[in-house]
């Protein structure tokens, strides 16, 4: 499965180099330049690729609850000290 995702990422990288549309004057849907339409589709492909990578390869240990308790806020500590007096 990992090889499949490596190939997918490499395909997305190669598709990002769209030198063939630099001089294309074609309008998609009658108003959208071909290069811009291509990049809109490419952006969707890149977002889907990233979503799949996060879904299947996100490190699980990052989602575990952290046992660390942050120190008390300094401002709150000063207020608590003032109340005790």
Structure-token pair, residue 28: 């998609």
Query: Which element (helix H / strand E) includes 44?
Result: helix 34-57
Q: What is the CA radius of gyration of the chain?
A: 25
**pTM metric for this prediction:** 0.67
Q: Is residue 12 part of a domain?
A: no
Instruction: With respect to residue 44, please indicate whether it lies within any of the assigned structural domains.
Output: yes
**Range of the structural domain that residue 35 is part of:** 24-55
pLDDT by residue (tens digit) across 7-53? 999 999 999 988 888 889 999 999 999 999 999 999 999 999 999 99
In-domain check, residue 51: yes
- Domain contains 82: no
- Please state, in angstroms and rounded to a whole number, the distance separating the CA atoms of residues 33 and 21: 9
Contact 18, 45 (CB under 8 A): no
Q: Is residue 11 part of a domain?
A: no
What's the confidence (pLDDT) of residue 68? 63
With respect to residue 79, please indicate whether it lies within any of the assigned structural domains: no
């Amino acid at each position: 499965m990992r090889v499949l995702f490596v190939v997918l990422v490499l395909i997305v990288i190669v598709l990002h180099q769209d030198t063939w549309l630099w001089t294309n004057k074609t309008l998609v849907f009658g108003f959208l330049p071909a290069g811009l339409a291509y990049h809109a589709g490419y952006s969707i492909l890149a977002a889907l690729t990233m979503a799949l990578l996060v879904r299947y390869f996100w490190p699980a240990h990052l989602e575990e609850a952290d046992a660390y308790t942050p120190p008390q806020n300094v401002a709150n500590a000063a207020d608590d000290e003032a109340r005790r007096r």
